[in-house]
């Protein structure tokens, strides 16, 4: 497949996965489960500040919509961050396989 | 297995920050030497996919869930150096924007998932490709390296928790190891599914990092 089309397809796949995020299990994850069972969950401190806590976009009454929005914002944010850092770090010309 | 603030003590947080900073610094240097601008979009879409996939918790036994970490996926498709940077970016956004994983504990989370998770997967994948040349090594190596990277990252987290006095060694190591041996199966399945997709659509991506190695030989 054409390189650009493939990248676009994979990007759309990421966005689709983000839209599916309300289907996620709400059970505690492995670490939370162990922390609850072993009684050290109460060591957890409140975060210093909150932007989009628990992957729920604040101020939106419908939780599924708020979760999807949080997922899309995060997916785009991570994409932009890695793109920006990658542009700064990667070489301008394709690597000549010096590694 | 994103560690929130409070689980680990200051000494462990500082030590893991120092280790992670070193790993990130060296990864930047290697990516700068080995990767061209052409690979940047691939890094971006992989990071986007891993962030989204990490939101999808799947049920495992006993009212517990797990989600993809993605260490094996980036190690296989981008190599370990770019892989560490991609997972670090995901973890940083999760900590700073989504309050998933503490800010003091970010060094530990990067160390566990972006360094131990990525490198253990990379080395095991290489090993299995050598043991089973051809597509067989890709499937066996993909599944086992993904599974093992989750278990090893969880054991690293357990070491930090035990060092911090959150839970005794003899309790936290087996508890974390066992639950992540289950979660790792999900990691293996998702990783091999994505590899299958890549093998069907962009096979060149799978040959890239076995040919140029992205580091070790």
Interface of B with A in 68-127 (CB under 8 A): 82, 85-86, 89-90, 92-94, 96-100, 102-103
Whether A47 sits inside 8 A of B102 (CB atoms) is yes
> ∠ at Cα B53 (B214, B206), nearest 5°?
30
List pLDDT tens digits, range A3-37.
Answer: 999 999 999 999 999 999 999 999 999 999 999 99
Rounded to whole angstroms, the Cα distance separating B151 from B144 reads 11
List pLDDT tens digits, range B70-121.
Answer: 999 999 999 999 999 999 999 999 999 999 999 999 999 999 999 999 999 9
pLDDT of B208: 63
Number of separate domains in chain A: 1
Rounded to whole angstroms, the Cα distance separating B92 from B109 reads 9
pLDDT band at A93 (very low <50, low <70, confident <90, very high): low
Domain boundaries, chain B: 10-211
A27 contacts chain B (CB < 8 A):
yes
Is residue A24, in this structure, part of any structural domain at all? Answer: no
Per-residue pLDDT at B212 exceeds 50: no
- Which segment of A73-82, B97-106, B198-207 scores lowest on mean pLDDT? B198-207
Question: How crowded is residue B136: how many other Cβ atoms within 10 Å of its Cβ?
Answer: 12
Is residue A57, in this structure, part of any structural domain at all? Answer: yes
Is residue A26, in this structure, part of any structural domain at all? Answer: no
- Residue B66 bridge partners (DSSP): B58
Whether A24 sits inside 8 A of B65 (CB atoms) is yes
- DSSP codes of every residue in A29-78: BHHHHHHHHTT-GGGPPPPSS-SSGGG--TT-S-HHHHHHHHHHHHHHHH
Rounded to whole angstroms, the Cα distance separating A95 from A79 reads 22
Is residue A37, in this structure, part of any structural domain at all? Answer: no
CA distance A49 to chain B (A): 8
Is residue A97, in this structure, part of any structural domain at all? Answer: no
Whether B37 sits inside 8 A of A91 (CB atoms) is yes
Phi, then psi, of B65 in degrees rounded to 5: -125, 170
Report the residue from A24, A34, A74 with minimal CB separation from B175: A34
CA distance B139 to chain A (A): 21
Mean pLDDT, residues A48-68 taken together? 97
Q: Which residues of A23-35 are buried (b: 16+ CB within 10 A; e: fewer)?
A: ebbebbbbbbbbb
Q: Which residues of B50-64 are buried (b: 16+ CB within 10 A; e: fewer)?
A: bbbbbbbbbebeeeb
Q: Which residue on chain A is closest to B172 by alpha carbon?
A: A34
- Structural domain boundaries enclosing A72: 46-92
Helix (H) or strand (E) holding B29: helix B10-34
- How much is the pTM? 0.95
Per-residue pLDDT at A95 exceeds 70: no
Give the mutation candidate from B8, B45, B60, B200 for the A interface (greatest A CB count, under 10 A): B45
CATH topology of domain B10-211: Arp2/3 complex 21 kDa subunit ARPC3 (1.10.1760)
Per-residue pLDDT at B214 exceeds 70: no
């Amino acid at each position: 497949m054409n390189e650009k089309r493939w990248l676009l397809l994979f990007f759309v796949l990421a966005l689709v996965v983000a839209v599916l995020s309300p289907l996620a299990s709400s059970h505690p994850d492995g670490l939370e489960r162990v922390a609850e069972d072993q009684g050290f969950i109460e060591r957890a401190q409140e975060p210093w500040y909150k932007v989009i806590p628990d992957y729920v976009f604040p101020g939106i009454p419908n939780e599924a919509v708020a979760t999807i929005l949080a997922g899309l914002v995060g997916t785009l944010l991570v994409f932009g961050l890695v793109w920006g850092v990658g542009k700064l770090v990667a070489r301008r010309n394709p690597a000549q396989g010096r590694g | 297995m994103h560690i929130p603030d409070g689980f680990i003590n200051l000494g462990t947080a500082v030590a893991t920050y120092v280790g992670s900073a070193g790993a990130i610094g060296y990864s930047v240097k290697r990516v700068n030497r080995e990767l061209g601008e052409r690979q940047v979009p691939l890094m971006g879409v992989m990071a986007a996919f891993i962030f989204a996939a990490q939101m999808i918790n799947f049920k495992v036994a006993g009212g517990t869930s797990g989600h993809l970490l993605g260490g094996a996926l980036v190690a296989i498709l981008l190599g370990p150096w770019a892989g560490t940077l991609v997972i670090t970016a995901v973890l940083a956004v999760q900590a700073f924007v989504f309050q998933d994983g503490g800010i003091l504990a970010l060094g530990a989370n990067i160390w566990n998932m972006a360094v131990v998770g990525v490198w253990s997967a990379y080395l095991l994948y290489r090993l299995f490709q050598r043991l089973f040349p051809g597509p067989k090594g890709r499937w066996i190596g993909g599944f086992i390296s993904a599974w093992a990277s989750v278990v090893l990252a969880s054991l690293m987290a357990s070491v930090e928790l035990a060092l911090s006095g959150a839970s005794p060694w003899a309790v936290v190591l087996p508890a974390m190891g066992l639950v992540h041996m289950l979660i790792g199966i999900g990691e293996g399945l998702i990783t091999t599914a994505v590899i299958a997709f890549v093998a069907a659509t962009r096979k060149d991506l799978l040959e890239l990092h076995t040919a140029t190695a992205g580091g070790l030989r």
